[in-house]
Structure 1
């Protein structure tokens, strides 16, 4: 078989890839030879950035790497933003691209799609970038990629294949089975010491990050047995379920949780980078820990970033949670639930004037779509849902307000999540500013008949930046932008759309949503905020 054919066979037969996101180009057509009969689904976005965001959403919703086929040069520069978001949030993504012929690389001959060093450009937003120089090396390079996905801190990986190798003969591997790779387990001595500190603690606190999403049952049980209040990051939302008495939600940036953190004598942080966009969303460096900090992470360097470490273990979060749980056969009693209740009362989220208008929004969507996956851009409803929303399981809430913080993520990432989890409803929370970055992906949603519900918060521009300008005494410029008539635009794409200005109208719109294909609901922010300031919808009106 050819190198291109071997690539598709390896992805499908060795690594179980069922979906590819890509836009064919003259440099990649050989990758498409026979793909139509391979059983692998190909989804064509309308922009390579959309391809990367779709792969990201697919990976977060399924736990499996999202895979992209990308053209040389402009295709790679287009997908870099999506790779940056995935790198910041440790999302497994495999980007396979073409590159110019081996004998022309780095020669500056002005060839089609030529870059001086495509690999050098991509290396800053990937775990590694590799140029394939021989078809014989393809199985090994793919094995390296999947070894990182399974055994290290994941992220995007880039493999570029020179166009003169696509139709080169390639020997098939001796066997098609994928190697079994197990992530590192924690050192028993370190686990025993961590357990001793947690046993002796009077005011423990647990911080759970996205690295824990593979083990929600164990995480929930450990929190219960330690009788310790627990906060999750945004990417770990739902890890403890939607009604755990010790759960503080993703609220470590708010004063009440910060006070609890300062008072904690032992802090256990698992699978979290303790980064700014989870713990310091007000950007004042106010999240401080004075107690002994135990950190568990796959990345040794991450153990010593952002907070002063007392005890660090390099380990897969799932194995560490399990190992710790064995040291606590029975539950401790340390007034943890009372501490959590006091902290939640101090948060008073539903009374916060910046959050309260979004309480009926979250309630309406939860009642109409209780099992939904929520995928968000950087927009006001997402910022509020980060604090307000409680969900029954992980992998049901993620957005671009964390990490790299890109705009345009919500719509294509929701499409990827819907492709990965076709039996679940998917909600895309987007704003009128951010959605314009990737609005063309409505065509992909219609073409693929993806029943994503697109909730578009329309506040006439970049409201978050307007607020920052106002707070810093900067005259507004470039933030009051003109938007199209989104309902008409959606109709032009063949997407059903409507408008809703109140929670009751939103509930009615959701009840009448189509059974096939995307559905856009535009919410006028001024109308919504005015209604919510004077009214409180009843539960019956929202169901």
Structure 2
């Protein structure tokens, strides 16, 4: 037991759980926590907006598998981070959001204290796994330990912790709580045996790999090769199975060919995926009678499609056991995979045609350990998702479910902070970048080599096309063409205007070894860009 302020108790317990980096902005009400950060060797990344803090912590967590941490002040500050919390919840990313709250003995109906809002805990509860307000200094370590236990067992999702601002300043004798070591969850042996029998007898098996399989890359490879099964990946599963493997079909489940492949298969093994409409776009194929699902979440495993066999457990553990039931079966599925890969790539190239040259430049430059922080941009979901090969788990940071704009830049910052030796590239549209463009100053202050590729079509191109396709009046979508290189320079970055895709590869090479971030601004040639020129 040690005498600590609430602020120190918070930081000490974070350190107890291995936290070395916190993303946030100091404010009047959280200074007692900030006072303790350096004492515990904690690195603080000063962002320019709390939404950026949330996305940066998300990128940190997606690229490492370890929880990211956000520390804001009261009221509007934590609400600024709410969109990022919703994105983390949607994509099953462990991020701990922390802020002060109104004092412990604050009037229930309020009195107009600085930053007071009606009920910030309830607001955050609507977008995270759970929201908790502590009621004593002594409780703070327990609340932090419980949050990490929740984020590290079962389905990882964000948590919000509110500490009354008076408790951050008060002192008490507190004891720190070591991390809880949870056992790995495995599915019942009989269900694993049944699944193995079904897979072993399948003539045309197929694998669907989602974000929940990122920690099971080796096991996915082992079972794919044992089955000779083509491997299809969701956006969050992209890179978990190396996309140049002979059995890889690639990422992006929206293509008609993927539906046809499922229809043609006699057994589908889905690992760590919700089978969510945000991945499939035009609806799910018919999985009746042939779907085997592996998921750590017993609720998700029966959502969207009810499996013939539901194996609730850790993906790596269940796949390890499942491979053993195949009794050395080795089937060459390369020809089938090549057939479906050819069809998917044909569709992907048509869909992503305006961005193919840009993506080719990225592919030419990026090494195998590269991370691409993407945004909800046409160049990403029509382009990079299915047309840019990636080779490591967590290589494609993309806001799938909630689909927020402005994710790419701060997520790329978080990934680079977490993986300083890995090449990280941000791919954004001109509309999305403006949501969090101030984070260029954060990246510049960090002095990180971070290429930020802004693909400019003059506005919100997707919405412009949807308006036109509905025969609606097309309006409120043009954003003009800001001078992004000049803006980058003003915020301490390099700014480069790239006149053609041919010049992009050379500019990227330079940017990846630069002394600071580099904005690479290129105009796309597309239907939307032509209309909004």
Give the TM-score category using the shorter length. Answer: over 0.9
Distance apart, 1:529 and its partner CA = 11
Distance apart, 1:528 and its partner CA = 12
- Aligned: 1:398 with 2:424: no
> SS in structure 2 opposite 1:94?
strand
Distance apart, 1:176 and its partner CA = 5.5
Q: Distance in 1 between matches of 2:466 and 2:491?
A: 34
Residue aligning to 2:79: 77
Q: Distance in 2 between matches of 1:467 and 1:246?
A: 35
CA contact (8 A) 1:242 1:391 kept: yes
Residue aligning to 1:169: 171
Q: Give the TM-score normalised by the residue count of structure 1.
A: 0.93
Distance apart, 1:86 and its partner CA = 0.4
Q: Structure 1, residues 310-366: CA drift from partner, whole Å, max 9, x if none?
A: 211221111111111111241333x63222211122224388333234333223212
- Aligned: 1:255 with 2:256: yes
Of residues 118, 121, 124, the one that matches 1:122 is: 124
Of residues 3, 10, 24, the one that matches 1:7 is: 10
Relative to 1, partners in 2 of residues 1:527 and 1:184: Cα closer, same or farther, differing over 3 Å?
A: closer
Of residues 452, 455, 468, the one that matches 1:454 is: 452
Residue aligning to 2:67: 65
After alignment, is 305-314 or 74-83 more displaced?
Answer: 305-314
Which runs of structure 2 are paired with 1:306-321 in the superposition (5 Å)? 306-321=304-319
Q: Structure 1, residues 272-307: CA drift from partner, whole Å, max 9, x if none?
A: 000012122xxx325332342111211111111111
How many equivalent residue pairs? 523
Which runs of structure 2 are paired with 1:340-355 in the superposition (5 Å)? 340-349=337-346, 352-355=349-352
Residue aligning to 1:267: 268
Of residues 26, 34, 37, the one that matches 1:35 is: 37
- Aligned: 1:93 with 2:84: no
Q: Distance in 2 between matches of 1:20 and 1:467?
A: 40
- Aligned: 1:160 with 2:162: yes
Of residues 353, 358, 361, the one that matches 2:358 is: 361
Q: Distance in 1 between matches of 2:483 and 2:55?
A: 25
After alignment, is 409-418 or 256-265 more displaced?
Answer: 256-265
After alignment, is 345-354 or 376-385 more displaced?
Answer: 345-354
CA contact (8 A) 1:208 1:270 kept: yes
CA contact (8 A) 1:274 1:307 kept: yes
Q: Give the TM-score normalised by the residue count of structure 2.
A: 0.94
Q: Distance in 2 between matches of 1:189 and 1:351?
A: 40
After alignment, is 450-459 or 508-517 more displaced?
Answer: 508-517
Residue aligning to 2:466: 468
Relative to 1, partners in 2 of residues 1:362 and 1:526: Cα closer, same or farther, differing over 3 Å?
A: closer
Residue aligning to 2:480: 482
Residue aligning to 1:209: 210
Residue aligning to 1:539: none
Distance apart, 1:202 and its partner CA = 2.1
Residue aligning to 1:533: none
CA contact (8 A) 1:72 1:98 kept: yes
Relative to 1, partners in 2 of residues 1:421 and 1:154: Cα closer, same or farther, differing over 3 Å?
A: same
After alignment, is 33-42 or 211-220 more displaced?
Answer: 33-42
Distance apart, 1:504 and its partner CA = 1.8
Distance apart, 1:105 and its partner CA = 5.3
CA contact (8 A) 2:185 2:314 kept: yes
Which runs of structure 2 are paired with 1:408-419 in the superposition (5 Å)? 408-419=406-417
CA RMSD of aligned residues (A): 1.9
> SS in structure 2 opposite 1:306?
coil
Residue aligning to 1:331: 329
Q: Distance in 2 between matches of 1:293 and 1:109?
A: 56
CA contact (8 A) 1:350 1:356 kept: no
After alignment, is 303-312 or 82-91 more displaced?
Answer: 303-312
Relative to 1, partners in 2 of residues 1:37 and 1:189: Cα closer, same or farther, differing over 3 Å?
A: same
Segments of structure 2 that go 5 or more residues without pairing to the other structure are: none
Relative to 1, partners in 2 of residues 1:105 and 1:147: Cα closer, same or farther, differing over 3 Å?
A: farther
- Aligned: 1:496 with 2:494: yes
